[in-house]
Structure 1
Amino acid sequence: MYEFYSVFYRYKIARMIKKIIIKLRRRRILTCVVLVILCGYVVLQTPLSPDLYFIHWGPLEDISCHYIDPDNTLPRAESGEFQPPSRSIFFHETSCKGDLDPRQACAVESAARAHPGWQINVLFAAPVQKNTLKNGSLSVLRNFTNVRLSRVQITNYAKRTPLESMVSGGALNRTRWRISHTSDVLRYLSLYKFGGVYLDLDVVVAKALDPLVRNWAARETDTAVAAGALAFSRDQLGRSVAEAAIRDIKNNYRGDVWGYNGPGVITRILKQQCSTSNLSQMSAATCNGFEVYGPQFFYPVEYWKGWEYFKPGEIKLEDTAYIFHVWNKLTGHLDVHKDSPFAKLARKYCPSVYKLYGKDFLLPVTLNSTK
């Protein structure tokens, strides 16, 4: 009997040890898996991260129009005849529609009205047909003598710049957000080539930018300098910042991170220019003359509150804000209430476009436009 119990207990002990070993192995495997995931996550947050633009749920945006030129009636921005003056504002439309929707047209009209002595350049990455110029928003904008509409063929536009090989090599087709990332590259190219002010097409300009210093950007939050409104002049400071931006894009372009080539560029540059990572401490005094304005001047309503522009109510910020950024990428699907802040801004600052579209101005826009 003793031998029986001895064998039985040895058997049970052996089974217990086996279970413990199996559990330890499973835990070891699980621990290894967790460590691999954590290491992968850490790497993805660093410059060592691979460009994973091809991981995308759905079809990629079609920007084939950027590289063709049928039926285009606009003068070419890459030609020698395109020589904008130093007081210039640049808008870039980088979808393939070859037109402006009502909200984009409002941005251009408001800029033109606020800056009668400036040249307002609207550069289309897609061909614009003759009928489009005769109808809709472009027919209204052409009545403003300071508005210039041009076609930009990006491959030619990048020639003889540090981005020539990157663009001609098709980098902008290797991205999840082809329309937005083309806009990112073009804004910095325009400021590099000509100097001036860049503005997104989802803004309403409430005041002239003349009182501002010549070189500036603006914080969107305490962690990001935005790229929706930028000014790089032709002076030494403006040239150095523009060149730094082009170098950053050339060396650090990422197709799988939405803001990496836009706000990421100016944020990284200014951290070096200002010798600080604390954005709230950035100013002309700490950034060698380059001003970093607070969000109240250009982004008075945060992007997560963008819907406030479209519901009935008031936003009493016109005395402070030069520009109202309305976040089309997040709000383009919203109807515009006739008593909303955005409708009131439009009636005041882009009355011609508002009158042209009437009730249609209050409808959602098609979300195939740039920011």
Structure 2
Amino acid sequence: MNIFLARLLLNWQRTKISFYALISLFLLSLLAYNSGVIFSTHVPFMLNHPSEPETFLPGNATGNSRRFFSLSTKLSSSDGKLRTHSPFMHKNAILYHPRRRKRHRRVLKVLSSNVNGMRFEDRVMQFFNTSSHCEFQFFMTWISSIESFGDRELLAIQSVFKAHPSGCLIVVSNSMDSRKGTLMLKPFLDRGLKVTAISPDFDFLFNNTAAESWYNRLVRGGGGVRTGGVSLGQNLSNLLRLGLLYRFGGIYLDTDIIVLKSFRELKNAIGAQTLDLETGQWSRLNNAVMIFDKGHHLLYEFIEEFALTFNGNKWGHNGPYLVSRVVSRLRGSIEYNVTVLPPMAFYPVDWSRIGGLFRGPRNAVHSRWLLGKLRQIYGQSFAVHLWNKQSKGFKVEEGSIIQHMMSSSCVLCNSSSLAVQNM
């Protein structure tokens, strides 16, 4: 009996050892499998592919939150192979939203000027010289799709001709220099008003200026110009308006400017946006309205400042803040020769309060205030900046100041532009 129990105990111990050995083997196998999954992630080798051209990196114009992707895929034009690379492997890699890239590439189409077989300069001069009684030379720029050129922009054009019936307006734009753009402008032409759209020629406009080198680096890409997060179209418009006035002289207007009275008295002028309350001196200028002679020295200084200090990540740095920096620096010098108009001239309402112009009267007191404000604006302002980015979604209410301006600016009174209440 004792022998039997001893053998039984020995077999049980052997079985226990085998059981633990089996469990250990299973756990080791499981650990090896998991380690293989965790540590077998493929890290690609550095490939000698061309870096993404900086000019094709999109800008975030809306300021909305972004969704970034850590892995980008691109097709190499040299070998046709689809390559995937991690931006963390490249010191110059930039994370981006695909919608920003699409918008950026759409804007860059404007760099391929379409001059319809005729030089840009010749088209501009032919238009101004052959248009009879062309008393004023106006320029607007449009670096967007033709589909986005809407009622607000058409109202701005109407206001130009309401105050300057003998003026001539060129909309410098690739998209508007098209059959569809011509149809858009036809109602003005049918009334004998002088307006046209011409595609820009950046090479001509920036030739022999500091912007020539900047533009060439932008077109070549490869990181020559850091376009940043601000819309490239916005920054190109900032530079384009300077080149137009420098080459031809005249009046530049943003497409959200409502002109109220003639600019006849204005010469080499720019408007202040804000004043220093303590000193009464201007603290910031704006470039939404500019009146300058051809070849004015200040325009050359503006262009040089743009090229030398360009920053694609700071809103306004290449626009309102740029003209403010240069004018402040040259104030008092012989080259100054510019009139800085008070905010009431072009910016009677700050962007943060522009909504008040779209609201109709709430009561008798508000009604009297609106009437007083309307009289003040028409008495002291040459134009009103609608600050499109802030006001584009506002509804034009009955009895509002904007409704009065729309009615008084109308030259196409049978057009749909006055019927639309959401400008």
Matching residue within 274, 287, 290 for 2:338:
290
Q: What is the distance in 2 between the residues matched to 1:323 and 1:102?
A: 18
Which one scores higher on RCO, CA 8 angstroms, separation ≥ 6? 1
Matching residue within 303, 323, 338 for 1:246:
303
Say if 1:173 and 1:142 are closer, same or farther in 2 by CA, change over 3 A. Answer: farther
Aligned to 1:361, the other structure's residue is in SS state coil
Trace 1:74-223 onto structure 2 (pairs within 5 A).
78-83=120-125, 84=128, 87-97=136-146, 100-126=149-175, 128-134=177-183, 137-143=184-190, 144-155=192-203, 157-170=205-218, 171=225, 173-212=227-266, 214-222=267-275, 223=283
2:344 is equivalent to residue 302 of structure 1: no
Q: Determine the structure 2 residue equivalent to 1:5.
A: none
Say if 1:327 and 1:76 are closer, same or farther in 2 by CA, change over 3 A. Answer: farther
Greater Cα offset, 52-61 or 144-153: 52-61
Q: What is the distance in 1 between the residues matched to 2:235 and 2:186?
A: 28
> 1:171-224: per-residue Cα shift (whole Å, max 9, x none)?
485552122111111111111111111111101111000012x11111100221
How many residues align? The count is 295
Matching residue within 60, 64, 77 for 2:108:
64
Larger gyration radius, structure 1 or structure 2: 2
Aligned to 1:169, the other structure's residue is in SS state helix
Q: What is the distance in 2 between the residues matched to 1:73 and 1:247?
A: 26
Q: Determine the structure 2 residue equivalent to 1:362.
A: 421
Matching residue within 272, 281, 285 for 1:225:
285
Q: What is the distance in 2 between the residues matched to 1:152 and 1:105?
A: 20
The residue identity in structure 2 corresponding to 1:362 is Q
Aligned to 2:233, the other structure's residue is in SS state helix
Say if 1:206 and 1:194 are closer, same or farther in 2 by CA, change over 3 A. Answer: same
Gaps of 5+ in 1: 1-51, 277-285, 365-371
Q: Determine the structure 2 residue equivalent to 1:26.
A: none
Say if 1:272 and 1:68 are closer, same or farther in 2 by CA, change over 3 A. Answer: closer
The residue identity in structure 1 corresponding to 2:186 is S
> 1:209-264: per-residue Cα shift (whole Å, max 9, x none)?
0012x111111002211111111113xxx611111111111111110111011111
Trace 1:17-28 onto structure 2 (pairs within 5 A).
none
Q: What is the distance in 1 between the residues matched to 2:233 and 2:307?
A: 18
Q: Determine the structure 2 residue equivalent to 1:322.
A: 382
Deviation at 1:341, TM superposition (A): 1.2
Q: What is the distance in 2 between the residues matched to 1:128 and 1:89?
A: 16
Question: Pairwise CA RMSD of aligned residues?
Answer: 3.0
> 1:26-64: per-residue Cα shift (whole Å, max 9, x none)?
xxxxxxxxxxxxxxxxxxxxxxxxxx9978735433313
Say if 1:218 and 1:139 are closer, same or farther in 2 by CA, change over 3 A. Answer: same
Deviation at 1:82, TM superposition (A): 1.7
- Does the CA contact (< 8 Å) of 1:92 and 1:201 recur in 2? yes
Deviation at 1:292, TM superposition (A): 0.5
Instruction: Output the TM-score relative to the length of structure 1.
Output: 0.71
- Does the CA contact (< 8 Å) of 1:176 and 1:255 recur in 2? yes
- Does the CA contact (< 8 Å) of 2:136 and 2:164 recur in 1? no
The residue identity in structure 2 corresponding to 1:94 is I
